[in-house]
Every structure is written in structure tokens, then in C-alpha cells.
A and B are shown apart, each in its own frame.
Chain A
């Protein structure tokens, strides 16, 4: 399926300064894998060392949070837009 992945502003320096990337992907997992294969520097900012998507990284398919769909197995259709949106979190002490 031909989909568009929107790159958030802070990660554009690691994705050839592009605002979006078009690619073929059958589900969210494949879209993110395609993205990090093409732009290797993105991987550490999206995934933790154990290979899981970082807890503050949220992925939307069109306007729907993938956590309320089939998570990374969410199927994609032609023309779908995949957006990466951070939660901003932190705090004073561990």
C-alpha cells in the first residue's frame, strides 16, 4: 500500500530534512521499519534499546491513535497518512 509518513519537526534533521516520506507498507510496523531502514539515524529516537517503540512515541493512522486500533499490526490502505507524535514527559527525579 502506498502511504505517507509525516516526520515530526525535531526528527527531520535525521530524515533528509523531509517533512514526509512516501513508501509501500502493509501495516504500521512495516511503515516504521521502512522509515528507519531508509534513515538509520531515526531508529534510536523512535525505539529503545530493547527494540520497542519508545513509550513517549505515539503513532496515528490518519487521525486515529494506533493504540486504539491494532497497534503496530494496524493495516494500512492506499493513501493512509501515518503521523508520529510525541508525548512530552519528564520530571525532577527518577
Chain B
């Protein structure tokens, strides 16, 4: 499976980071809507979602299946796909954890923003390997402006 860079506008990238700052020290999460093809993958819009893990929001997040279906419906209305998900790691690196790996599917882009009390740190994107053994980093290609819908 070919892996294209994840194209995302500076403005949308900043919105992911701002969401992580807003919910700090809890994890934030949201859907990334966009287009995927053999040669490119681009985020067109974000859908910030509630972290449903009330029991442990500092180091866990969950998007319920009904929220996933809502995101898919929104994507269909916009004639795009849910191409991935973002979440924050408060006071932790922007690297997928073992828990992340156990709860992931390939194909999706998983963007993680590391957030500290002083603000956002690294933002990285990851793709799970076909054999589920590990994640590979996905290059984030920051663009000035999103493609129009």
C-alpha cells in the first residue's frame, strides 16, 4: 500500500494544536475529513469530537461508534472521506503508544499532538503497518491553504 504525505493547511494544523491546548491536561480528539488517492492525501476539514473516556481522560481518549458514524455522515455530505483521526498526548511525546497500536486500523492517518502546560510541542502523523506490528511515521506536508471542496 502506497503512503502519500498527509497534506494539511497551516490553519487546520493550528486548530488541532489549539484543541489540544484547550482540553489540556486531558486528551482531545477529532476526525480528519479529506480526500485520499493513490498519489495524495489531504485534510479538508476537521471535526472536533468529545473525548468519551470520562474515567481516564488524561491518558486515554475514545470516539464512540455513533460519533464515528456521525463523522462519516458529515464526510459523505461533503463528498469526502474520514481519512484519519487526531488526538493529543498531554505531557507525553507525539508517538503512538502500545495502547494506540492495539486500537488502530491501517489506512487511517493518526495525528498526535504533544501538549505541555506551556503549549503545543510536536505534531506528528502515523500510519499502522498492514501486519499491525508497528506504526510508520507519515510525512506532514503543511500547505498554505486547504484545497476547496
Chain A interface (Cβ within 8 Å of chain B)? Answer: 8-11, 13, 41, 44-45, 54-56, 58, 60, 65, 85-94
Chain B contacts to A: CB under 8 angstroms:
1, 27, 29, 53, 56, 58-65, 68-69, 81-82, 85, 87, 89-92, 96-100, 102-108, 110, 130-132
The complex places the Cα of A13 from the Cα of B108 at a distance, in Å, of: 12
Which chain B residues lie closer than 8 Å to A8 at the CB level? 105
Q: Which of A44, A91, A93 has the most CB of B within 10 A?
A: A91
Q: Which residues of B contact A93 (CB under 8 A)?
A: 59, 92, 97, 99
Query: How distant is the Cα of A91 from the Cα of B132 in the complex, in angstroms?
Result: 17
- A45, A60, A90: the one within 8 Å of B96 (CB): A90
Residues in A whose Cβ lies below 8 Å from that of B1: 13
Q: A91-B89, A93-B59 are in contact. List 8 more A-B contacts (CB 8 A).
A: A54-B102, A87-B63, A88-B62, A88-B63, A89-B62, A90-B110, A91-B59, A91-B99
**Given known contacts A90-B96, A92-B92, is B103 in contact with A85 (CB within 8 Å)?**
no
Ranked nearest first, the 8 interchain pairs of A and B with the lowest CB-CB distance are: A91-B60, A10-B107, A90-B100, A92-B92, A88-B63, A92-B89, A89-B103, A58-B65
A87 close to B68 (CB less than 8 A): yes
Q: How far is the CA of A93 from the CA of B60 in the complex (A)?
A: 8
**Complex Cα distance A79/B63, Å?**
29
Contact B68 A89 (CB under 8 A): no
Contacts of A45 in B (CB 8 A): 105-106, 132
- Residue of A11, A13, A44, A85 near B65 (CB, 8 A) is A85
Give the distance in Å from the alpha carbon of A39 to the alpha carbon of B70 in the complex. Answer: 28
In the bound complex, CA of A45 to CA of B102 (Å): 10
Nearest chain B CB to A57 CB, angstrom units: 9
